A and B are shown apart, each in its own frame.
Chain A
Amino acid sequence: MAARKRCVQAFVELRSEDPEATSALAVARERLEAGRGLASLRRFRVFEIAGSELGASAIAERLHGSSQFYNPAKERCTLRAAAEEQPPAAPEEALVLVFERGGARRTGAERWWRHASGERVEVREGVVWALGFGPGGEPAARATELAATRDRAHGLFANPHFQECRVCAGALPPLDWMTRRDPRPARRGRRST
């Protein structure tokens, strides 16, 4: 079996208040049973870059220097280059990853990367929602309930007819979260689906 390519994750978040997260939080709280206890909601655009041999600071510089990834004037980017690094979410927040099935690759960004550094990399983009729940209940179960839309009263973040969603609570998400076929918990006894 071929060795998996080294993968890094870039979390991109608006510097200002995110209207998309604000609206989603309001709708989830007011109209979805599983969203009633939702205390906070943040949204990140997430890139997974596989196949680069550059160091973390060089990768961060590449991301900063290209319009393919984010706009530093209005967004901030946090790079995760090692699996033990914490994403820019609180440890108690449940994370929901959403990406388009068969459509997450960003070929324009891949072309730019090859032009800029000579490296052939795979770039995928998705969205991570960070859900903060109030006390009580099971964050993983509630996040799972909110993740995939089933009907008007259940689910919000992904339409399972064209999107994949994965939930991670109480654990660190894998760096290759979008491509990992068997997303087992990063730490013993914690849940990542």
Chain B
Amino acid sequence: MNGARVAVLQFPGVNCEAETLRALARAGLDGEVFRWTRPPRELGAFDAFVLPGGFAWQDRVRAGALSAKDPLLEALAAQAESGRPVLGICNGAQVLVEAGLVPGGGGVELALARNRMPDRDGYQSRWVTCRVEASACVFTRALEPGTLLPMPVAHGEGRFTSAREAFVEELLGRGQVPLRYAGADGGPATAFPANPNGSACAAAAVCNARGNVMAVMPHPERVLDLGAIARAVGGGGGARRDEALARGGPGPGAGSPGMLLFDGLRAHLQEA
């Protein structure tokens, strides 16, 4: 493949690398699993980086906490600083937050805390709808703000929160919350199940100020086909799925919610 090279960082316990590689391939990018045992300097040979989902180091101490201290993250921070795109999905998002790459103002500024809504906590595996917000994030900036993307979530610790109460709201104001959980009306979801974890400002993803590093809790790599959208999902996403199925098959990729983010990465790398 002649596409840009993308490293899919794999710590022990990561389990979504295969789907992530498939998503990159569909986007025309040359993905390669980069295991934690390789020398960090070899990251310099890649154009972009994805930290996939899973349970790195079994979530020991705290989800993402041990991987965040790995020398690979120092090297990754240097790559991010140079402007190369970095996408952290679910557990990868937890690693980026624990490593301070997101929101990237210096030090650890956020947490992805245990899911907690009134009378509801614990692991959630379900479909949610994410609403695209105005942002300079390289993964979403080609998408019209207000676009609704159905995607699955599967996590126990996905609540974006900060010790400083208004901080996530400030990030939203600065365009650093590119995706928010949306309710049936398309507005920000404040209650379960549309907001599956109690995330501040219904944040589903947070990026750095430059927009090249994004931590996203839903799994875009699990919805590469319109036909992969669950039957229970209604709205525009459900309608697009039904149309695709009526045409005789969902077809790989075209217009599927997850692929839109990887297509955004490809477009950015082509421009760069």
Contacts and interface: CB of A to CB of B under 8 A. Distances in A.
Interface size class of A (residues with CB under 8 A): 20 to 34
Contacts of B61: 20, 23-24, 156-157
B190 to A, nearest CB: 18
A152 B66 contact: no
A31 B69 contact: yes
A149 B65 contact: yes
B162 to A, nearest CB: 5
Contacts of B58: 19-20, 23
B161 A161 contact: yes
A32 B242 CA distance: 53
A103 B163 CA distance: 14
A157 B74 CA distance: 19
Contacts of A116: none
Contacts, number: 70
Interface string B61-80: 11001101111011001000
Given A103-B116, A151-B100, A160 B163 contact: yes
B99 A152 contact: yes
A27 interface: yes
Interface in B99-137: 99-100, 106-111, 113-114, 116, 121
Interface residues of B, number: 31
A42 to B, nearest CB: 13
A34 B114 CA distance: 27
Interface of A: 19-20, 23-24, 27, 31-32, 100, 103, 149-152, 156-163
14 contacts: A23-B57, A23-B60, A24-B66, A27-B66, A27-B69, A151-B107, A152-B99, A152-B100, A156-B61, A156-B69, A160-B108, A161-B108, A162-B111, A162-B163
Given A19-B60, A24-B60, A24-B61, 14 more contacts: A20-B61, A23-B66, A24-B66, A27-B66, A103-B121, A149-B98, A150-B108, A151-B108, A152-B99, A157-B61, A158-B62, A161-B109, A161-B110, A163-B111
